[in-house]
Amino acid sequence: MDYNKYMAEPYKIKMVEPIAVTTREQREAAIRRAGWNTFLLTTDDVYIDLLTDSGTNAMSDNQWAGLMLGDEAYSGSRNFRNLEATVRELYGFKYVVPTHQGRGAENILSQIMIKPGDYVPGNMYFTTTRAHQELNGATFRDIIIDEAHDPESEHPFKGNVDLDKLQALIDEVGAERIPYICVAVTVNLAGGQPVSMANLKAVYELAQKYNIKVMMDATRCVENACFIKHREPGYENKTIQEIIREMYTYADGCTMSGKKDGIVNIGGFLALNDEELYQKATSLVVVYEGMPSYGGMTGRDMEALARGIRESMDYNFIAHRLAQVQYLGDKLIEAGIPVVKPIGGHAVFLDARQFYPHIPQDEFPAQMLAAQLYLESGVRSMERGIISAGRDKSGNHYYPKLELVRLTIPRRVYTYAHLDVVAEAVKECYKNRNNVKGLRFVYEPPVLRFFTARFEPIE
């Protein structure tokens, strides 16, 4: 059945949703209304929406059927029991605390584990994850390998933790000030890059030596498992489920945004092995999310998530997803467009520094590139650079090495033909790159500024 270089869709289309086809004039008005921030565009302005793969997935008929079995009891919903049993069986953790989405789990984990003055090492930051760590008084330390900060490096596991950096932090601040190590699988802001099984094992062994817990960010764990199957010797004949189970033997718990590899539109959870931590988490979930048997989700949401997690273990599902992302990446590489290499799991990342070398980082080249791509084609993407990185405690911008625009592919939503349009639009922007100038803030919110900031072009 393997006729194509890029695997064809392992599903057929049963329902369609029309999308907006706009003129350049309409898009010019729309981007001005949105303050040059693609987050502030509305669906009616957007043709192909590659803002995010979060909550934008197409559910299967089996998941939609599950919605009809929603048990909306305030307590003790049978859909929660199904979700809990599914996570126990497929991920292998003992306890499951449902939350409305990933950051709900991050909030609870950060509150139960962090004391002011602590350090939380992680393989590159993620916006909401670090925000919760800092709100609870911790300092984040990046312990990812150096290759992750180099868009040209072809390292097959660019998400790996640098064990020397981890050891150096332990030596510097002491293990008692490190409540846990946060290991993301895959690493979103590095370009959707995976962590190898050997590295996960080594991190866990080092952590255990010092009695430090390892908490994984499981958000895109199925992509990570598929990369391990494709790239790590010894795993080529293992199933995705076997790989996932082994990955989680190297963790004490995880936070999960079901909106990504759970293939749903809303939902998440915190999973733990330690009973005492679980008790603490349940006492907080009732404050922030809801009863420990729904945590901000409806019964039907939990049913869809349980079914989505099971579907995500299907090799055809995940292999096709990675093939779609690779297809778009290969088209851009062939055209000489600067992108992060190797192509990651959920998105193709344009390197805005190389795209617009004449725009300084504090005039927001990636933010401008996302706006230009929208103006060109109606394709919506997302800045993942200096705006996403925010400011440090003294109010200075963080200056991340990576200044990127993310073309994020939702699961089971677009076809290869849509991706052809995206590739052509990026090529057109590249042709016109020399005429483009930067942006400045007209409104900057204090936390997670990228979501709602507004800009104007520098003339």
Residues binding ligand PLI (CB under 6 A):
52, 54, 101-103, 126, 128-129, 184, 188, 217, 219, 257, 259, 268
**Rounded least distance, CB 432 to ligand PLI, Å:** 27
Q: Taking a C-beta distance cutoff of 8 angstroms, is the pair 12, 320 a contact?
A: no
The closest of 228, 216, 290, 223 to 255, measured between CA atoms, is 216
Q: Which is nearer to ligand PLI, 54 or 312 (CB)?
A: 54
Closer CB to ligand PLI, residue 7 or residue 369? 369
Cβ–Cβ < 8 Å for 243, 315: no
Residue 99 has phi, psi (to 5 degrees) of -140, 165
Q: Which is nearer to ligand PLI, 339 or 382 (CB)?
A: 382
Of 95, 119, 126, 364, the catalytic one is 126
Q: Are 190 and 144 in contact (CB under 8 A)?
A: yes
> What per-residue string of b and e applies to 80-114 under the rule 16 or more CB within 10 Å gives b?
bebbbebbeebbbbebbbbbbbbbbbbbbbbbbbb
In whole angstroms, the minimum distance from the beta carbon of 103 to ligand PLI comes to: 3
Which of 259, 384, 411, 412 is flagged as catalytic? 384
384 is catalytic: yes
Q: How far is the CB of 309 from ligand PLI (least distance, A)?
A: 14
User: Residue 51 gets which letter from DSSP?
Assistant: S
Q: Which helix (H) or strand (E) holds 4?
A: none
User: Nearest approach, Cβ of 336 to ligand PLI (angstroms)?
Assistant: 27
Sign, CA torsion 309/419/345/364: negative
Which residue in 49, 217, 252, 301 is the catalytic one? 217
Which CB atom, from 77 or from 193, has the smaller least distance to ligand PLI?
193
Quick one: 100 or 438, whose CB is closer to ligand PLI? 100
Residue closer to ligand PLI (CB basis): 7 or 97: 97
Give the type of residue at 288: Y
| Residue 217: active-site member | yes
User: Is 39 considered catalytic here?
Assistant: no
Q: How far is the CB of 423 from ligand PLI (least distance, A)?
A: 21
**Measured distance CA(136)–CA(118) in Å, rounded:** 9
Nearest Cα to Cα of residue 302 among 76, 107, 43, 22? 76
CB of 59 to ligand PLI, least distance (A): 16
Q: Point out the catalytic residue in the list 24, 32, 42, 74.
A: 74
On the 0-12 / 13-18 / 19+ scale of CB atoms within 10 A, 193 is: buried
Compute the C-alpha angle 180/185/188, nearest 5°: 105
Residue 93 annotated among the catalytic residues of the structure: no
The arrangement of strands across the sheet holding 268-272 comes to: 95-99, 268-272, 253-257, 213-217, 180-184, 119-122, 139-142
Q: Is 80 a catalytic residue?
A: no
To the query of whether residue 362 is one of the catalytic residues in this protein, the response is no
Catalytic residue among 259, 260, 307, 406: 260
CB 200 within 8 A of CB 235: no
Q: Which is nearer to ligand PLI, 170 or 318 (CB)?
A: 318
Q: Which residue is nearest to ligand PLI (CB)?
A: 102
Of the residues 127, 128, 219, 408, only one is catalytic, namely: 127
E strands, 362-426, are 379-380, 382-384, 404-408
Q: How far is the CB of 126 from ligand PLI (least distance, A)?
A: 4
- Token readout for 367 is 């933010």
Q: Catalytic residue at 353?
A: no
**Separation between Cα atoms, residue 324 and residue 318, nearest integer Å:** 10
- Residue 314 Cβ vs ligand PLI, minimum distance, rounded to whole Å: 22
Query: CA-based diameter of the chain, in Å?
Result: 61
Closest CB to ligand PLI among residues 340, 359: 340
The structure tokens listed for 397 are: 């911008």
Distance, CA of 328 to CA of 343 (rounded, Å): 9
Nearest distance from C-beta of residue 242 to ligand PLI, angstroms: 23
Taking the least distance from each CB to ligand PLI, the nearer of 80 and 126 is 126
Q: Which residues are catalytic?
A: 74, 126-127, 217, 260, 384, 450
